[in-house]
Amino acid sequence: MPPKTTRPRRVLFAAVAAAALGMLGLGAAPAAAQEWRGWNIHAADYPNGIGMDAFTRIVGERTNNRIRMRTFHSAQLGQQDEAIQQMRLGTIDFANFNLSPFNNLAPTTNVVTLPFLFRNVAHMQAAIDGPAGEAIAADLEKIGIIALSWYDAGARSIYTTRPVRTPADLRGMKIRVQTSDLWIDLMRNLGANPTPLPFGEVFTSLQSGVIDGAENNWPSYESTRHFEVARFYSTTEHSNVPEVLAVSAQRWGRLSPADRTILREAAQESARIQRAAWAERERVSRERVVAAGVTVIEITDRSPWAALMEPVYAKYASEARLAALVRQIREMP
């Protein structure tokens, strides 16, 4: 009979070997079903929630529910900056993020946040589905986030409690921005007083007068009911920053190549669904806020606004790699 100690040691060795193979992504997928937790800042019926629910459904179907995903909508797992930290730690497994809160962490995300860079949605999509997306995915991977596909987020415009027609009207107004240095400088150069705040605090801050306005696309302006307090929407369309559907590198590292392919393909399909839902919701949201009596101030000449953005480009896009990417995006047909 072998000594009693042999067996546990062999079991231990097998467990270590399996873990090592798993870490290398070489082992077979574990038999036990995995439960993945997903983060979404928006409500389930927002285009991004629709896209994420499609993603989790497709992954479940194609893995016979070996990978079971659940999205916690409406920021149930916290605000965006905390969620990014949780993704990096692996306590949140997947998420949809706007790229601006990565500005201070992943340099190339600054490029797609830059004001007045994209000519239109098609230009933004071509950039993010092409060179910009590649560069950003590489940067995000360095901080433990694996980009799988890109969502639309339309054009962002300024909305306020008093009418704003020119940058001069913004002078001294407290305008909420996302937590990003670029956004702070962007708003400061437009003449406003930038106030970084989490998305979930904007409504009460508008109500209590802590801020005089914010900036966002039509669907966010409408779905958050900010339009009930900030009644003037000026179509500055100053930024077209896209969004990412991403997975934590912690999870990704343990997936088999076949499962990675399933997730990538599901994410691409989810982006197509999100983009279609986005185009429709932009139209519907605009109609809803207009019907609710919002004053839309059409900014037809954006050149006085764009002219003020020179220092933002100088500060955030002058490093050779970033400047080259800006040039490449501008030269896209």
- What is the binding site for ligand BDP (CB under 6 A)? 41, 80, 98, 153, 178, 199, 216-217, 220, 243
> Of 259 and 282, which has the nearer Cβ to ligand BDP?
282
Minimum distance from residue 199 beta carbon to ligand BDP (Å): 3
Q: At what angle do helices 47-62 and 257-291 cross, to 10 degrees?
A: 160
Q: What is the C-alpha to C-alpha distance for residues 117 and 270, in angstroms, rounded to an integer? A: 26
* 223 closest CA partner among 284, 277, 274, 280: 284
- Closest to ligand BDP by CB, 41 vs 58, is 41
Do 237 and 156 meet the contact criterion of CB atoms below 8 Å apart? yes
Between CA 139 and CA 192, with CA 104 as vertex, the angle to 5 degrees is 140
- The neighbour count for residue 141, using CB atoms within 10 Å, is 15
Residue 131: Cβ within 10 Å count: 17
Q: Which is nearer to ligand BDP, 113 or 217 (CB)?
A: 217
Q: Residue 34 or residue 79: which is nearer to ligand BDP going by CB?
A: 79
Q: Which is nearer to ligand BDP, 133 or 219 (CB)?
A: 219
Tell which residue, 103, 64, 112, 62, has the closest CA to residue 84: 103
> Of 278, 267, 272, whose CA–CA distance to 146 is shortest?
267
